């Protein structure tokens, strides 16, 4: 894994192999690791992509994966660890965080998914990460937080503005939107 592009703080920092922050998000430690990530992506990814659109979906997925890798790298540097890290979990957690934003922006429900269900799913997947030895929980949290932020900026704010305009509850002046 290390020779194929997995993330390792020493190689990133001292050999300047920054690409590892990205390439590690496409690698997995075995078929079970890959299957777990693909199951979560299959269950949630299609719904999330329909909600935010393909371009946003790809941006949020990749951005969350990169943010998870970077936070993991930063944490390991702070703690003096030199682990080998790989997996799409940061990106998957970004989709989970993004889906929470989609549900909240849509008044607590989207395509039969409630805010309670999404928050429970996020908590459960985080719990399994913390309960499993060798899991990069910092990468999971980094991806989740990035998913919240990226989805709120790219989907949440425009959707809220659109909903306010169309509800008729706010009278926007098209000539001067700041009044």
Contact 120, 152 (CB under 8 A): no
Token pair for 155:
């989907």
Q: What is the mean pLDDT of residues 144-169?
A: 89
Q: What is the mean pLDDT of residues 64-75?
A: 96
**Residue from 118, 62, 47, 50 nearest 92 by CA:** 62
pTM, entire model: 0.85
Strand pairing report for 113-114 and 109-110: antiparallel
pLDDT at residue 65 in the model: 96
Token pair for 132:
């499993």
Crossing angle for the helix pair 89-105 and 115-131, to the nearest 10 degrees: 160
Contact 139, 86 (CB under 8 A): no
CATH fold, domain 2-164, is Rhomboid-like fold (1.20.1540)
* Domain regions of the chain by residue span: 2-164
Q: What is the mean pLDDT of residues 47-75?
A: 96
For residues 67-97, one letter each, b for 16 or more C-beta atoms within 10 angstroms of the residue's C-beta and e for the rest, the string is: bbbbbbbebbeeeeeeebbbbbbbbbbbbbb
Where in the sequence numbering do the catalytic residues fall?
Answer: 89, 140
Instruction: List strand residue ranges (DSSP E) for 30-177, in order.
Output: 109-110, 113-114
Spatial distance between the Cα atoms of 142 and 43, rounded to a whole number of angstroms: 21
Could you report the per-residue pLDDT of 45-57, keeping only the tens digit for each? 999 999 999 999 9
| 3-class state of residue 7 by DSSP | strand
**Residue from 43, 133, 3, 21 nearest 87 by CA:** 21
Q: pLDDT: is 130 or 92 the higher one?
A: 92
Could you report the per-residue pLDDT of 123-139, keeping only the tens digit for each? 888 888 777 766 788 99
Could you report the per-residue pLDDT of 8-56, keeping only the tens digit for each? 999 999 999 999 999 999 988 889 888 888 888 898 899 999 999 999 9
pLDDT at residue 173 in the model: 44
How buried is residue 9: exposed, middle or buried, by Cβ count under 10 Å (0-12/13-18/19+)?
Answer: buried
């Amino acid at each position: 894994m290390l020779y194929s592009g997995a993330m390792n703080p020493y190689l990133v920092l001292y050999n300047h192999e920054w690409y590892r922050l990205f390439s590690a998000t496409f690698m997995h430690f075995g078929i079970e690791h890959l299957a777990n990530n693909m199951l979560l992506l299959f269950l949630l990814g299609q719904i999330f992509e329909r909600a935010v659109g393909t371009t946003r979906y790809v941006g949020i997925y990749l951005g969350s994966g990169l943010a998870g890798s970077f936070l993991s790298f930063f944490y390991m540097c702070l703690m003096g660890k030199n682990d080998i890290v790989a997996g799409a979990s940061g990106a998957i957690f970004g989709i989970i965080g993004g889906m929470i934003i989609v549900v909240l922006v849509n008044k607590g429900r989207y395509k039969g998914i409630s805010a309670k269900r999404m928050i429970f799913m996020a908590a459960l997947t985080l719990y399994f990460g913390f309960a499993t030895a060798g899991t990069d929980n910092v990468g999971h949290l980094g991806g989740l937080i990035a998913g919240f932020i990226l989805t709120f900026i790219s989907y949440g704010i425009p959707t809220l503005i659109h909903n306010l305009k169309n509800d008729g509850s706010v009278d926007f002046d098209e000539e001067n939107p700041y009044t």
